[in-house]
Amino acid sequence: MQTLIIAARNISRNFRRSLMTISAIAVGTMSLLLFGEFVSQIFVALETQNVTRSGHIALFRNGYYHFGAGNPAAYGIREYQSIIQLIRDDAVLKPLINVVTPTINLFGIAGNFDAEASKTFVGLGVIPADYNRMRRWDQHDLKLPSTASDKPFNEQDETHGFIGAGLANILGLCEPLKLGNCSGKQGGDQEALQSKPAQGRRDFSGLEEQAQPADAVPGKESTPRLDLLAATANGAPNVVNFHVDSAIMQGVKEYDDAFVIMNFNLAQQLLFGRGEKKAGSIVVQLHRTEDIPVARARLEKLVKEKGLDLETWELMELQPFYKQAVGMFKAIFSFISVVMAIIVLFTVVNTMSMSVLERTHEIGTLRAMGVKRNGIALQFLLEGMILGLVGATVGIMIGTIAGYVVNHAGLLWHPPGQAYPTPLVVLTTGTGQLLLGIWTGLGVMATVAAWIPARRAAKMKIVDALGHV
């Protein structure tokens, strides 16, 4: 303790130099903390975005994940209702699960022949009530601002759903859907369209198995109608009526120009026709992301025990972009951490080297009085550690204040892959591990940096040190 007190007093002997060293460490700490909190915010935002879309775990029929996109009907899950009930009733999984629901992925052609326009689409069939509940998942309490994508899915009419804003533009639905970010032009060749008789415009109508004309269904005239065409499991063409409640921007143009989300029953009707109805996948959304390993292990055990032809995939595997983004920001944070560590290293080495040079005569005196080499080295190591810890503490305090200012400044930014601007904030809660890591890391680095001049001071010869002028 006495050595520590002496080390603290030695730091104050050249107050200006010590202050500059502490300030440099504090600025580095503040920068590292703010960027770390910003990266943490990106992580939880990306996690929330992907979990609300695709859940934490998905069960597919073996081979579907790699080959099912080419023929989703051939890789459907039979008796999916009993499998879902098995998962819901399991004693281990029940407290972990928020939603377990079937989904269908399919592709086909969407046509709006009132505008003489059609486009290939990628469709997702969901249970509306489950979809709405999944969208409300917010483990990290982000309370993101409401957007058009927060509009509830219609739970009353299975012919209603959403499409991408880009697809709405292509199919000439900007005016009916009151979209403000479209080209404003109607899709298709309007001159050719006006010359056609009205009865010849709906090219898919002859293929419909069960769909009714729009004017035959009460209440349908209030929303624009599309015809969705796809091939059934046996290869026959099939078409259904689809009424668009809203167009939602997807953030990625290729996806935005082809996205259709529809009722699960309508997707089954389109993909399987009058054949056996199946599910493309069973999605499991948990209350907490941390429970993925436990839940997946239990699901795989159930699949094995029941002899089911299923395989499980978790969040990082289902969303490659999420995994890549997390890896990229971790690499950036690691790079910045190394840069800050090098700055601290050279700053402390320079400060302690000057201190050793100025106190050469003092070192000789202490050695002559019987202080051992290790005692001299410890003295300078403690001084370096104090500089590092004081600078890191001040930096964390300033960084905390700066984080509060940033979060209340009302700044906006447009993250990659998102369709709408979001508040520019840093994550200031639940970052105790980050704070401890930065504080400890910089303290250790400052101590290591002090070891170089401390070692030189300990190796001085007593006679040379006493004779130093």
pLDDT (tens digit per residue) in 112-158: 988 888 999 999 999 999 999 999 999 988 876 554 456 889 999 99
Cβ neighbours, 10 Å, residue 44: 17
Last residue within a domain, chosen from 308, 338, 366: 308
8 A C-beta contact, residue 288 and residue 51: no
> Do residues 279 and 351 both lie within one domain?
no
Provide the pLDDT for residue 22. 93
Confirm whether 101 is domain-assigned. yes
Provide the pLDDT for residue 148. 47
Provide the pLDDT for residue 144. 63
> Do residues 361 and 459 both lie within one domain?
yes
Q: Are strands 97-112 and 310-314 parallel, antiparallel or unpaired?
A: unpaired
Q: How far apart are CA 4 and CA 2, in angstroms?
A: 5
8 A C-beta contact, residue 228 and residue 109: yes
What mean pLDDT do residues 370-389 have? 88
> Do residues 112 and 42 both lie within one domain?
no
> Do residues 29 and 76 both lie within one domain?
no
Tally of domains within the chain: 2
Q: How far apart are CA 341 and CA 441, in angstroms?
A: 8
> Do residues 27 and 174 both lie within one domain?
no
Q: Is the pLDDT of residue 194 over 60?
A: no
> Do residues 20 and 107 both lie within one domain?
no
Confirm whether 315 is domain-assigned. no
Provide the pLDDT for residue 466. 78
Confirm whether 165 is domain-assigned. yes
Q: Mean pLDDT across the chain, nearest whole number? A: 85
Last residue within a domain, chosen from 250, 283, 308: 308
Most confident of 67-81, 91-105, 170-184, 369-383: 91-105
> Is the four-CA dihedral 117, 122, 123, 124 of positive or negative sign?
negative
Q: Is the pLDDT of residue 376 over 80?
A: yes
Q: How far apart are CA 249 and CA 419, in angstroms?
A: 5
Q: With the CA atoms of 110, 262, 68 and 121 taken in that order, what torsion angle do they form, in degrees rounded to the nearest 10? A: 20
Q: Is the pLDDT of residue 193 over 50?
A: no
Provide the pLDDT for residue 197. 52
Q: Is the pLDDT of residue 468 over 80?
A: no
> Do residues 208 and 68 both lie within one domain?
yes
Confirm whether 58 is domain-assigned. no
> Do residues 346 and 304 both lie within one domain?
no
Provide the pLDDT for residue 210. 46
Q: Is the pLDDT of residue 179 over 90?
A: no
What mean pLDDT do residues 292-308 have? 95
Q: How far apart are CA 65 and CA 281, in angstroms?
A: 10
Q: Is the pLDDT of residue 207 over 80?
A: no
> Do residues 430 and 284 both lie within one domain?
no
Q: How far apart are CA 245 and CA 187, in angstroms?
A: 19
Last residue within a domain, chosen from 253, 281, 308: 308
Q: How far apart are CA 45 and CA 300, in angstroms?
A: 28
Domain limits at 152? 63-308
Q: Are strands 412-413 and 422-423 parallel, antiparallel or unpaired?
A: antiparallel
Q: How far apart are CA 469 and CA 467, in angstroms?
A: 6
Confirm whether 124 is domain-assigned. yes
Confirm whether 57 is domain-assigned. no
> Do residues 270 and 162 both lie within one domain?
yes
DSSP 8-state code for residue 412: E
Confirm whether 317 is domain-assigned. no
Tokens matching residue 227: 């015809």
Q: Is the pLDDT of residue 53 over 80?
A: yes
> Do residues 32 and 89 both lie within one domain?
no
Provide the pLDDT for residue 206. 47
Confirm whether 51 is domain-assigned. no
> Do residues 376 and 291 both lie within one domain?
no
| Identity of residue 125 | G
Percent of the chain with pLDDT over 90: 46
